Structure 1
Amino acid sequence: MGVSLEDLRVFRSVAAAGSFGQGAARLHLSQPTVSDRMARLERDLGVRLFLRGSRGVRLTRAGVRLLPYAQRCLALADEAVAAVRAEDAPPAVRVAMHASFTAGLLPVVLAALAPLERAISSTDAHSEEIIDRLTDGTLDAGIVVPVAHPSTIAVVPFRTDPMICVAHPDHPLAGHSELTVADLARTTIALTAWGHGAERFLTLLRTVPIPAHHLHTVSTAEAAAALARRRSHVGVLPRVTIAPDLAAGTLVEVPVGDLPDWPVTLALAYRAAEASNPPIHALRTHLLPIDVGKIAECR
């Protein structure tokens, strides 16, 4: 038995709200209607999607697995409606990148595509999801950290970016000519823990040692940058993610002499058969190679 888009829409709403009642209210439906739909969806799939409790509902493991597929199906359906209604207008160029790179690279991507005079749809996603969406045709291009990919997808590295330490100009460690990891251990750190070098860095910190409450590991570079902007943390993150901050002076680099060298490689991903299509050609021309100066100019 097939799954209806409307059931997926209700499922997404309940998952986001954490309760059947609030999920129903968001969709202007009655709670019994939503409860019946979700019970039927669970029967059709043969799994439980929600764990019911006195404080609402939460997703089961099956529900967690279903959610990204539901989101992709609904996004594709909305995109199809928009494309049909656009009449003779060319379709939007669909681009995705990891949230950590958006602030630094989205201005560059927009500048590359501007001469095409096409609408641009930009979303955030993890690299593996971007590869999946390129494969199923729901994206045109993505900025990724190189990951396993099928032969039909081209993943072309265009930048190797160092991990650096940054702080607000008013932070006590800002303005020093040279510091060590031991100096960092005396402050509070927001670390984007990417790559093998992150473990070497953590080993150095623990050797100092660093108090547990001084180390905060965050999943995105933007989260680390946001904490650094508040003057409360030193951020450890890829340079490209905070190039606009460095250019504007809202964050400054903190020189740490014994910081392990663990660069992050960024790549342009697209369907190999579409390398000559105008949007991909424009991105390849603009991104290969790229430098921090170009990022600052596009702000």
Structure 2
Amino acid sequence: MNLSLDDLKVFQTVAAAGSFGRGGALLHLSQPTVSERMSRLERDLGQRLFLRSGRGVRLTTAGERLLPYADRLLTLADEAVTAARAEDERPRLRVAMHATFAPSTIPRVLDALAPLDVEVTCTDAHSEDVVRFLHDGSADAGFVVPCPHPSTVTVEPFLATPVVCVVSPGHELARAQRPGIRDLAAFAVACNTWGDGAARFLSLLRAAAIPSSRLHLVSPAETVANLARRGTHVGLLTRSTVAADLATGILVEVPLADLPRWEIIVGLAYRTEDADTEPIRALRTAFRH
């Protein structure tokens, strides 16, 4: 079977647009052309990818399974074209991590690799995807929370950062005496729900009868920080994300008396066989310290 990248691009666009007509317009293709190409893709795969109705289309279960692979294949194709057209011979390092880690991690990556004159590209991905990218060769290094990984991938933990409760200095909770989780029920809460302790915290918060309209599970963590900075939300996120805000007083930490132990462990991930390459050695040294 020869999957066409052009057909996958049409599939991806239609899935996002929710309509053959709107998807075709974005790609400058007629609706009959889009319909024919998607029918051909469905025949090639032997699966229906779209449920059609008068209001548009939506993905079937098979379509939902195909979409992340189509996204990856199209991203890899773009990277392949960029690499082939590169005009210099500088070494290149492809780094993958979730956007939650990017603000604090990418500067350290760039500082560590600056002496090596390495071209660095960064991709947003969840930890499980980072591991897959490393295993199949579409990334060279990554940053992950604990997750299963094959022996071809090594993960070196370098940071255990606690989740803290933060608010703007003018927020009512900034002046509260020994507040607890129940006290959060009176406010809008934005929470980044990664790491050990998240499930326990959410169960306690829901037991405190916080209305669902006030509890917002938000990713990445920087978005939680922005909501807290605005003064509209109490934020639950990693201390490392808001370390600069806490140091300058833009945000203040609220020590919840009954907040369960909750931390996120972050590790540097790379292909095991690359451990002694110069860029990976530089990253291992930088993040070990």
Distance in 1 between residues matched to 2:56 and 2:229, nearest whole Å: 36
Q: Distance in 1 between matches of 2:165 and 2:140?
A: 33
Check conservation: 2:91, 2:117, Cα contact below 8 A. Answer: no
* Separation (CA, whole Å) in 2 of partners of 1:35 and 1:91: 43
Identify the residue that residue 272 of structure 1 maps to in structure 2.
Answer: 272
Q: Superposition RMSD on alpha carbons, in Å?
A: 1.9
Unmatched tracts of structure 1, length 5 or more: 290-299
Letter in 2 for 1:227: L
Q: Which runs of 5+ in 2 are unaligned?
A: none
Flag the 1:248–1:34 CA change in 2: closer, same or farther, 3 A: farther
Q: How does 1:224-263 map to 2 (within 5 A)?
A: 224-263=224-263
Q: Deviations over 1:5-62 (max 9, x none)?
A: 1111111111222222222222222222121111100110011111222222221111
Q: What amino acid is aligned across from residue 40 of structure 1 in structure 2?
A: R
Q: Report the equivalent of 2:90.
A: 90
Deviations 1:146-173 (A, max 9, x none): 1100001001100001010111222221
Structure 1 residue 131 corresponds to structure 2 residue 123: no
For residue 97 of structure 1, report the CA deviation from its aligned partner: 0.7
**2:74: which partner in 1?**
74
2:22 & 2:133 partners in 1: Cα distance? 30
The answer to whether the Cα contact below 8 Å between 1:155 and 1:270 also exists between their aligned partners in 2 is yes
2:36 counterpart residue number = 36
Secondary structure of 2:186's counterpart equals coil
Moved more, 278-287 or 158-167: 278-287
The answer on whether the counterparts of 1:104 and 1:242 sit within 8 Å (CA) in structure 2 is no
Alpha-carbon shift at residue 86 of structure 1 (Å): 1.5
Sort the Cα spacing of 1:93 and 1:229 in 2 relative to 1 into closer, same or farther, 3 A: same
Runs (4+) off by over 6 Å? none
Amino acid corresponding to residue 188 of structure 2 in structure 1: T
1:119 corresponding residue in structure 2: 119
Taking a change above 3 Å as real, the CA distance of residues 175 and 117 of structure 1, as seen in their structure-2 partners, is farther
Residues in 2 aligned to 1:6 and 1:214: alpha-carbon distance in whole angstroms = 43
SS in 2 for 1:47: coil
How far apart are 1:252 and its partner, in Å?
2.3
**Does the CA contact (< 8 Å) of 1:143 and 1:266 recur in 2?**
yes
Q: 1:248 to 1:108 in 2, by over 3 A?
A: farther
**Mapped partners of 1:150, 1:160: distance in 2:** 22
Distance in 1 (CA, whole Å) between partners of 2:247 and 2:280 is 28
Count of residue pairs brought into register by the alignment: 289
TM alignment of 1:138-217, pairs within 5 A: 138-176=138-176, 178-217=178-217
Distance 1:15 1:91 in 2: 36
- Per-residue deviation at 1:131? 0.3
Identity %: 59
Partners of 1:278 and 1:137 lie apart in 2 by 17
Is the deviation greater in 79-88 or in 160-169? 79-88
What is the alpha-carbon distance in structure 1 between the residues aligned to residue 264 and residue 50 of structure 2?
Answer: 38
Q: Is the 8 A contact 1:96 1:142 kept in 2?
A: yes
8 Å contact from structure 2 (residues 190, 227) kept in 1: yes
Instruction: Give the CA deviation at 1:248.
Output: 4.6
Cα displacement (A) at 1:247: 4.2
**TM-score relative to the length of structure 1:** 0.89
- Give SS of 2:133's match: helix
Q: Measured at CA, do residues 42 and 91 of structure 1 come closer, stay the same or move farther in structure 2, by a change above 3 Å?
A: farther
CA distance in 2, matches of 1:247, 1:101: 19
Change (3 A) 1:97 1:247: farther
TM-score in terms of structure 2 length: 0.92
State the alpha-carbon separation in 2 of the partners of residues 178 and 89 from structure 1: 59
Task: Decide whether aligned partners of structure 1 residues 242 and 51 sit closer, same or farther in structure 2, where only a CA change above 3 A counts.
Answer: farther
Code of the residue aligned with 2:203 in structure 1: it is T
Does structure 2 conserve the Cα–Cα contact (< 8 Å) formed by 1:18 and 1:58?
yes
**Is the 8 Å Cα contact of residues 159 and 265 (structure 1) preserved in structure 2?**
yes
CA deviation string 1:193-216 (max 9, x = no partner): 223412322333344443333322
How far apart are the structure 2 equivalents of 1:180 and 1:259?
7
Counterpart code for 1:185: A
Structure 1 SS opposite 2:101:
helix
Distance 2:176 2:103 in 1: 27
Q: 1:19 to 1:12 in 2, by over 3 A?
A: same
